[in-house]
Each structure stands twice: as C-alpha cells, then as structure tokens.
C-alpha cells in the first residue's frame, strides 16, 4: 500500500449535518466530488476493464427512498455517532466498526486494515470469517487497499470485470466485495473490506451507508490513532510483551457486550505455570523472568488477530477467544499445554535445561457465566481444579461436576 493519501477533501453537506446532529464531524464537511463522468471509460475486454468501474459515487445526502428502505441501517450510524466520546483502543474501535458494519451489510468475511506508524506499513488489524483461510496471507494489504486509497472512495467489486480483482476474490472464496476507506485527518489510513459468496451480495446503496459510517468514525479514529503509541506503552507488560491485566479487563468488557449483541459464545482461558515458585527459588528471578518470556512466546504463537493474550499477574496468563465454544477452546488449550510440555527451557545456560508444564481452566460465556466477573471466577475455579487434580491438564468449568462425581466414586 502506498503512503497514506493526503489528497482527499471530503465532507457532508447540510442535509446530513441536520440529520445526524450528534456527529459534529458531519457539520463541518462538504464533499468535493469527482463526477464519475470524469473517470470515463468504455467497456473493454474482460482482462482490461479499469478499476474505476468499481468506484461508487457517493452523495452528501441520502434519497428519501434509500432512507425509507434502510432506516434500520441509518439508526446504526446514529448509534455510532453517539459513541464518539467513548475512550477505546484503536484495535477495539476498528473491531467495533466491523461489528456496526455487519448491522448494515451481511457479509461472509471481513478484513480491516490500518496504517501502523511504528512499522511504517499497513497491518491487518481485524478479520472475520477467516477460520478456513490463513490470515497471514492477507496481513500486508491487497489490491483493494491500493484502489480505495487511490480513489478515496468506496468500491463495489463484482467478479468478471478485472483480472486482479477476480484473482483476489478467488483467494477470499468470494464473488463480490465492498471496500470503504478509513480516514484520519483527511488522510486514507486504512480500509474496511467485506466479502460475499454471492455476486449480488452487496448494493451501491449499502456502499453509500458504509461510506457515511466511515466518515462518522473519523473523529474517533483520529483520537485513538493519536493516543495509540501512549496506550500501547501503558497496556504492554514490560517483561513479556503481552497485554497487561488492565487491557484484558477492558477487552473482556467489550467482548461480553459483543457476545450479547451477536448471540455468539466466547471462551476465557486462565493459565498457570506449574511449580514456577520452586524454579524461581532454585535458579533466581533472572531465570524466572526468562521463563515467563519464553512461555508468553509459546502462548502467542498461532493465535488469531481477534484473540487477546495477557499477563494476569505473576506466572498467570489469560486468553480471550472470541466466537469460540467449549470444544474449540479445549482444542486450543490442549495445543498450548502440549507445546509448553514439549519445549525446553534454559535455566541460565545450555547445560541447565528445565521441562515445564502448565494448567489451564476454561469458562465459556454465556453457557458457564452470564456476567464478566462470574466468567473470570469460573475460569479461575476450573484452573484451581486442574492444579488440584494433578496439574499439567486442561479442565472446562462445565465438566467439573462430572469430574468431582467420578473422583468420589473412585475414593
């Protein structure tokens, strides 16, 4: 992706300023349109249709017919404008935008990219529906990023008109896409991209609505982007590089709200390094610190973009797995447990090698708990049981009654 675009002059006219009085951003803008007639092109052979074909001409006001047809989607934009003062991290803001967009368009997969100033490159920040694909294949942007940045407009892409677009749609298992630029201080700093398996999955009216959603979000994105460096420092554990407990608490709150809204479960894993205190006492804190860093690295490996891995305190860690049920969380937890069990940890020198194990407790929202604090307590109870029953094991909170009953029968 090229450097963020400075050329956009965009604003909403008085009609939307009156309609969305909650969004002060909209009152200041006037859209400097580039009429599509100036992007004139003729229908050419399939392999040479220019990307201008996909550019959506956006307007400062919605027609009466569009408002009547999409009145529920318009309410989504109003809800976002009323959240403009909410303090959030940039990644959480982008995730929330993706959720709001799903209330406007029904998509099968989604990618949200944003410019990372520290890396000086575009990063895949949020994704949805990529379980069957490898997110790493899409981590550095794509052709839709380039086009959305070049034209500073939404794109409505349908297969069968451009070879580059078709190749990318095939890689996403899609037949159509909507791409909407995201702005910070009038610069294109990222895109939201939504994909559908059907050729007619999206309409240009929906592209218009997502465009306005993006404009309403600009003030929020600008504030969070400006604060991101400070927030990243404040919410990063200096020892392990993982998120801090404070970040975890905030992210858990957001995940509970998202789960309630989408009616989807999510899992919480609480992890403890077995016999860590004795290792610390035997080799000293400098070895203990290195072990914590090594275990953190194992926990982070192969996690999805939407997962949260944090240090909870001491030798305890927590992981939030969105859109994950009990069996799915159990699979992930067992994979982590085996990875730690099979790893070798150097206790100060290559000659001093230690083997470690971890215990993991799992609770699922909303089958095991209906509230945030209750979820943490039940994951902690499952962890306590895992350690009490012999360590180096994974237990689901929902399985504790059966396990306790079997142990009583044996005794």
Cis amide prior to 366 (ω within 30 degrees): yes
In angstroms, rounded to a whole number, what is the distance separating the alpha carbons of residues 371 and 256? 8
In angstroms, rounded to a whole number, what is the distance separating the alpha carbons of residues 325 and 116? 32
Q: Are 156 and 193 in contact (CB under 8 A)?
A: no
Residue 315 bears catalytic tag: yes
Whole-number Cα distances in Å, 366 to 265, 269, 321, 361, 400: 6, 14, 13, 16, 17
3-state percent helix, strand, coil for the chain, nearest multiple of 5: 45, 20, 35
In angstroms, rounded to a whole number, what is the distance separating the alpha carbons of residues 400 and 386? 10
Give the CA count within 13 Å in the CB-facing half-sphere of 18: 4
Q: Which of 91, 315, 374, 377 is catalytic?
A: 315
Where would I find the H helices in 57-114?
A: 64-69, 71-82, 90-102
Active site residues: 315
């Amino acid at each position: 992706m090229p450097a963020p675009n400075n050329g956009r002059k965009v604003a909403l006219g008085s009609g939307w300023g009156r309609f969305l009085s909650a969004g002060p951003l909209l009152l200041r803008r006037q859209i400097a349109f580039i009429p599509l007639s100036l992007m004139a092109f003729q229908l050419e052979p399939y392999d040479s249709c220019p990307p201008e074909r996909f550019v959506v001409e956006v307007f400062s006001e919605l027609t009466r017919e569009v408002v009547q047809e999409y009145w529920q989607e318009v309410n989504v934009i109003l809800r976002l404008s009323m959240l403009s003062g909410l303090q959030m991290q940039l990644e959480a803001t982008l995730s929330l935008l993706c959720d709001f967009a799903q209330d406007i368009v029904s998509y099968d997969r989604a990618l949200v990219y944003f410019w990372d100033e520290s890396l000086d490159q575009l990063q895949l920040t949020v994704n949805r529906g990529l379980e069957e694909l490898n997110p790493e294949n899409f981590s550095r942007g794509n052709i839709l990023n380039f086009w959305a940045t070049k034209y500073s407009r939404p794109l409505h892409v349908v297969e069968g008109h451009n070879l580059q677009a078709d190749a990318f749609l095939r890689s996403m298992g899609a037949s159509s896409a909507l791409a909407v630029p995201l702005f910070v201080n009038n610069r294109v700093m990222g895109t939201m991209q939504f994909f559908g398996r059907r050729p007619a999955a999206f309409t240009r009216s929906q592209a218009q609505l997502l465009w306005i959603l993006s404009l309403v979000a600009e003030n929020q994105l600008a504030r969070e982007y400006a604060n991101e460096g400070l927030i990243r420092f404040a919410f990063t554990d200096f020892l392990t590089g993982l998120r801090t407990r404070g970040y975890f608490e905030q992210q858990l709150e957001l995940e509970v709200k998202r789960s309630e809204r989408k009616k989807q479960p999510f899992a919480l894993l609480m992890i403890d390094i077995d016999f860590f205190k004795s290792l610390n006492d035997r080799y000293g804190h400098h070895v203990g610190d290195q072990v914590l860093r090594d275990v953190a690295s194992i926990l982070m490996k192969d996690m999805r973009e939407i997962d949260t891995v944090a240090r909870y305190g001491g030798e305890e860690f927590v992981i939030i797995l969105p859109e994950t049920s009990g069996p799915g969380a159990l699979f992930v937890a067992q994979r982590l447990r085996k990875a730690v069990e099979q790893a070798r940890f150097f206790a100060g020198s290559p000659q001093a090698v230690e083997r470690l194990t971890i215990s993991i407790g799992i609770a699922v929202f909303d089958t095991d708990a209906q509230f945030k604090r209750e979820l943490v307590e039940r994951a902690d109870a499952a962890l306590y049981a895992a350690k009490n029953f012999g360590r180096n094991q994974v237990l689901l909170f929902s399985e504790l009654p059966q396990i306790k009953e079997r142990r009583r029968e044996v005794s």
